[in-house]
Amino acid sequence: MDEAARVGKRVAVHATGEPGTLYAARAGVASVDHGYQLSDETMRIMRENRFLPSPRLPSPNTLADHAASPAAGARQHEQLDYHAGQFRRQLAAGVPMAVGSDVGPFPHGTQARELVLMVKYGMTPVAALQADLLNGAKLLGWEGQIGALKAGYFADVIAVPGDPTKDISVVTQVSFVMKGGRGISQVNHGPHFR
């Protein structure tokens, strides 16, 4: 942490359980990816310091849905249920959240599923969008550059076929992408600027 602070960087950890996550929270890391099995003390520190965990919910969902055997699938589904319960517990404790990606167990381009699962497991659609856009910008240290439609911000915008504040699943159906103020059409050969 001292070395990261010396060079103006932030630290994120990939962790679950105690006491490691507590030590990370006490040290002042910016975020913890996954971060379930947290003590009340760890959640208190996270809440008070506006610490931004990223639950990475698609990974356990994907592992549960694509297990090697029925027995492994049953174990994965038990772990998924536990993870969802831990997410709800953190929400109830007032821990702020950020949206992240754990691409690997699931395909690139499907990360919006994190928002859908956050809502499924207890967030409102608006809170999930704020976790993505506002808290994501904060976590990256990019407040004032991304996360809002404002003059001077990067013009990265998507179009979806509905109102994500009412039905968050529409974020998985992107029909248009604007990157840096230029439209990108998605075709079979990859993204093309126009």
Average pLDDT value over all residues in the chain: 85
User: Where is average pLDDT lowest: 5-14, 56-65, 68-77, 166-175?
Assistant: 56-65
pLDDT at 190: 44
Is residue 37 domain-shared with residue 127, that is, in the same domain? yes
pLDDT at 193: 38
Q: Strands (DSSP E) along 12-130, which ranges? A: 12-15, 31-34
137-186 per-position pLDDT tens digit: 888 888 889 888 888 888 788 899 999 999 999 999 998 888 877 787 65
pLDDT at 124 over 50: yes
User: Please, which residues have CB within 8 angstroms of residue 153's CB and are 6 or more apart in sequence?
Assistant: 144, 145, 146, 147
11-43 per-position pLDDT tens digit: 988 888 899 999 999 999 988 888 888 899 999
Residues paired with residue 54 on neighbouring β-strands, in sequence order: 33
Contact predicate 51/29, CB 8 Å: yes
Is residue 123 domain-shared with residue 161, that is, in the same domain? no
Is residue 30 domain-shared with residue 113, that is, in the same domain? yes
Is residue 17 domain-shared with residue 104, that is, in the same domain? yes
Confidence of residue 59 (pLDDT cuts 50, 70, 90): low
CATH number at residue 23: 3.20.20.140
Is residue 61 domain-shared with residue 111, that is, in the same domain? yes
Is residue 83 domain-shared with residue 142, that is, in the same domain? yes
Domain residue limits at 79 = 2-147
Is residue 114 domain-shared with residue 161, that is, in the same domain? no
Confidence of residue 105 (pLDDT cuts 50, 70, 90): low
pLDDT at 65 over 80: no
Is residue 9 domain-shared with residue 68, that is, in the same domain? yes
pLDDT exceeding 90 applies to what percent of the chain?
A: 36
Is residue 141 domain-shared with residue 181, that is, in the same domain? no
107-116 per-position pLDDT tens digit: 777 788 889 9
Would you say how long the chain is, in residues?
A: 194
Q: Label residue 180 exposed, middle or buried (CB < 10 Å: 0-12, 13-18, 19+).
A: exposed
